[in-house]
Amino acid sequence: MPTIEQTVYVSKEMLGYIGNQPTNPPGINPGDEGFGLYAPDVTDLNTYLGTETEYYRLNGWQLNGADQFANGQFWSLDAYTGDGDPREDDDPSHWTEIYAQLTPKNDLVNGLGIGDNYIVLEIGGEHIMLDFDGTFSDVPTDVVYEPNRDPGGEGAPTFDEGEDAFDGAVCFAAGTLIETGNSPMRVEDLRVGQIVLTKDHGPQPIRWISSQTLSPAVLARHENLRPVRIKAGALGAGTPSSDLVVSPQHRILVRSKIANRMFGASEILVAAKQLLELDGVEIAADLEEVRYFHILFDRHEIVLSNGAESEAFYTGPQALKSVDAAARAEIFRIFPELKDRDYRPEPARTLVSGRVARNMVKRHIKNDMELVAA
């Protein structure tokens, strides 16, 4: 057995089954408009395998100290059959090996076998597309990956890109002021039925609220759960109005011309952890423990938190797994449709994640532009 040097966890939407080797689009050659890496009738890997796995893991060896996918590496692929957080579950009975030795195929189609957010993996003539921005489904789809898909990127996905498969809980830290329409209230003073002012639907009642305290021991064990502090004015003039502390995956509203150019939407939602290159945004390492609060409405909403627009709880599948069984049962009682594994709630804005989000932040920094334009 090889010595595993790296494990990458990914969601089912990130893995597409290609089958035969990808080529260039029929009749289109290098230099022609529309040239790229072409694969017809791609479905998610689940459809090909006939399974309902939500998460997978890639175990890599012969990496030679790299932090990106590259030729010469080897990866096995396992499907997760447990019901917890796969990143915390090492029980061998909860993992089933699907492929024993996949290899990255960077050199396909003039070097387009790899891009900023994707890599083609091959075993025995079969090809798997790992796309960290992927939305593969059971509907066969022709895909084309063009050169410079993500201008300003680094040319290959890093091993931590899969973290964006795990939404985690969207939480406000205790002390956050939430605008109610009458006056701001501390999040810990809010109750079910309390009216809160939302950006899209005006005054709305809270349907569910919960909290959890992460002790110093928990934060020491799970550094990825440490809160992010967005200092006053870090997003734009007066935004937030005072320091805002949220969970790393808590999405913040970005409104700018750059966002519009990159994503075709002037307003998008980006996880706080993707903003860490901004001056005034940092890991709140000084907090020995943190009490997180989750607020849920009838739909995904944007609220004012310390004067900054950010999301309330988004009931995606991994976010639901991040709360305990009792809380999850209570949410299912209020919103039974969430029990359907294929149900996906409509987000309040386009959700931008991973390296694409970080590149957007870099563009704002390079152009000296605020993330929240007036």
Q: Do 35 and 29 touch, CB atoms closer than 8 A?
A: yes
Please state, in angstroms and rounded to a whole number, the distance separating the CA atoms of residues 79 and 77: 7
Tell whether 132 and 77 lie within a shared domain. Answer: yes
Number of domains within the chain? 2
Domain boundary among 125, 148, 165: 165
What does the pLDDT look like over 179-200, one tens digit per residue? Answer: 999 999 999 999 999 999 999 9
In a domain, 324, yes or no: yes
Question: What CATH number is attached to the domain comprising 207?
Answer: 2.170.16.10
Tokens for 258, please give them: 């750059």
Q: Do 14 and 166 touch, CB atoms closer than 8 A?
A: no
Tell whether 192 and 159 lie within a shared domain. Answer: no
Residue 250: closest CA among 218, 226, 217: 226
Does 321 score more than 80 pLDDT?
A: no
Q: For residue 91, give every residue at least 6 positions away whose Cβ sits within 8 Å of its Cβ, in sequence order, or none.
A: 82
Tell whether 103 and 214 lie within a shared domain. Answer: no
Q: Helix, strand, or coil here: 91?
A: coil
Tell whether 252 and 355 lie within a shared domain. Answer: yes
What does the pLDDT look like over 246-302, one tens digit per residue? Answer: 999 899 999 999 999 999 999 999 999 999 999 999 999 999 999 999 999 999 999
pLDDT value of residue 150: 47
Query: Residue 195 carries which side chain, given as an amino acid letter?
Result: I
Tell whether 140 and 222 lie within a shared domain. Answer: no
Tell whether 216 and 242 lie within a shared domain. Answer: yes
Rounded to the nearest 5°, which phi and psi values hold at 249?
Answer: -90, 0
Rounded to the nearest 5°, which phi and psi values hold at 262?
Answer: -80, -35
What does the pLDDT look like over 290-318, one tens digit per residue? Answer: 999 999 999 999 999 999 999 999 987 66
Does 98 score more than 60 pLDDT?
A: yes
Domain boundary among 165, 185, 206: 165
| Range(s) of the domain holding residue 87 | 6-165
Q: Do 194 and 205 touch, CB atoms closer than 8 A?
A: yes
In a domain, 371, yes or no: no
Q: Helix, strand, or coil here: 331?
A: helix
Pure H helices in the chain: 45-49, 108-111, 216-221, 257-263, 317-321, 325-334, 354-366
Half-sphere exposure of 158 (CA within 13 A, CB side): 12
Tell whether 99 and 120 lie within a shared domain. Answer: yes
Residue 56: closest CA among 110, 112, 98, 23: 98
In a domain, 283, yes or no: yes
First to last CA, the chain: 57
Q: For residue 184, give every residue at least 6 positions away whose Cβ sits within 8 Å of its Cβ, in sequence order, or none.
A: 177, 178, 304
In a domain, 330, yes or no: yes
**b (16+ CB within 10 A) / e for 101-130:** ebebbbebbeebbbbbbbbbbbbeeebbbb
In a domain, 374, yes or no: no
In a domain, 1, yes or no: no
Residue 23: closest CA among 142, 131, 137: 142
Q: Which residue has the higher pLDDT, 147 or 114?
A: 114
Domain boundary among 165, 197, 219: 165
Could you tell me the strand order of the sheet in which 281-283 lies? 208-214, 290-296, 172-173, 244-246, 228-230, 281-283
What does the pLDDT look like over 220-256, one tens digit per residue? Answer: 877 878 999 999 999 998 999 999 999 998 999 999 9
Q: Which residue has the higher pLDDT, 242 or 139?
A: 242
In a domain, 238, yes or no: yes
This prediction's pTM: 0.70
Question: How crowded is residue 92: how many other Cβ atoms within 10 Å of its Cβ?
Answer: 8
Residue 148: closest CA among 113, 106, 116, 111: 116
Tell whether 18 and 159 lie within a shared domain. Answer: yes
Q: Do 147 and 125 touch, CB atoms closer than 8 A?
A: no
In a domain, 373, yes or no: no
Q: For residue 261, give every residue at least 6 positions away whose Cβ sits within 8 Å of its Cβ, in sequence order, or none.
A: none
Tell whether 153 and 202 lie within a shared domain. Answer: no
Tell whether 21 and 151 lie within a shared domain. Answer: yes
Residue 222: closest CA among 355, 328, 87, 315: 87
Tell whether 130 and 186 lie within a shared domain. Answer: no
Does 155 score more than 60 pLDDT?
A: yes
Please state, in angstroms and rounded to a whole number, the distance separating the CA atoms of residues 271 and 165: 12
Please state, in angstroms and rounded to a whole number, the distance separating the CA atoms of residues 33 and 64: 37
Tell whether 213 and 258 lie within a shared domain. Answer: yes
